[in-house]
Amino acid sequence: MTKRILVCGAGGFIGGHLVKRLRSEGYWVRGVDLKHHEFSPTRANEFVIGDLRDPAVVRSVLAEIDEVYQLAADMGGAGYIFTGEHDAAVMHNSAMVNLNVLEFGREAGIRKYFYSSSACMYPAYNQTDPDKPNCSEDSAYPAAPDSEYGWEKLFSERLYAAYQRNYGVEIRVARFHNIFGPEGTWSGGREKAPAAICRKVAEAPDGSEIEIWGDGKQTRSFLYIDECIEGIWRLMDSSFAGPVNIGSEEMVTINQLAEMAMEIAGKRLLVRHVDGPLGVRGRNSDNRLIRDRLGWAPSASLRAGLEVTYDWVAEQVATHHKVLTASR
């Protein structure tokens, strides 16, 4: 019989791509989210607009489901997470979703869950050196995330582990490191760094300037969406519960990311560094555990993924400009 899957957060960036992969593998997929996917029609067999903070909605979407992929969260980029203005909502909304999905899933007899955690749960004290951040999975404790978003992710990891111990459900937990690619948020304040920089470069006339928060020497790694989805697939197909990093080990500074986007665009732009929310000084995926347990790790270059992403963002910018022009 065809396996029936529920994807929570199916209207989002990673969730939308995950639905496509699950459908291509022959699964029946129900998606649920507060909104439809913004950039492409869903491939889900059934898509429910609903609020997973509502027990009635959760009970409904869990009916006749075999496995749950839980990606729904109140989240965004640095401009959303690190200002402190959304801390209560981020913690309350995401925790409620996970509490509901697990408890009502237990009642419904769900036996297997995937949970998308984040590298934001790693201790800030291990990420002060931009050249040598420590994000190995066993470095999580003593806990000291740099944001309430990270604290909620850590709490929910423990919540899933507790349900596994007490109720015997199978869990798979991945810690995502800065996933990027086409069909993701690229404007409005919740976009991640690659999309934000691609947008700024696409909007800027050649020879002008763009702004970058901080001195641009903060380091990160960025994982292209296709490899993220492959990592999820391989983790769920394995006997390893995790938590495990799903990220790239190709660490760059934000200045280098901007330079790469400019090269792709064929533009020469000045960079003006301004004050803004930054997060930790350095972060990079440590892929030793995923190689050991899954025999696989992401390997695609940042440049290859950024080329595809820049072209897509530039197209969105051009379309948005045409709409604004036509409406005047």
Catalytic residues: 149
- For the chain, helix (H) and strand (E) counts, in that order, are 10, 13
Closest by CA to 246, choosing from 302, 285, 282, is 285
Tokens in use for 66? 């075999």
DSSP 39: S
Tokens in use for 222? 């960025």
Q: Do residues 241 and 117 touch, judged by C-beta distance below 8 A?
A: no
Question: What separation in angstroms does the CA of 233 have from each of 11, 170, 174?
Answer: 19, 15, 11
Closest by CA to 298, choosing from 239, 240, 250, 236, is 250
- Cβ partners under 8 Å of residue 263, min gap 6: none
Rounded CA-CA distance 60/115 in Å is 20
β 252-253/219-220 pair status? antiparallel
DSSP 3-state assignment of 120?
A: helix
β 209-213/112-118 pair status? unpaired
Tokens in use for 318? 């051009």
Rounded CA-CA distance 92/103 in Å is 16
Burial of 304 (0-12, 13-18, 19+ CB in 10 A): exposed
HSE-CB at 242 with a 13 A cutoff on CA atoms is 30
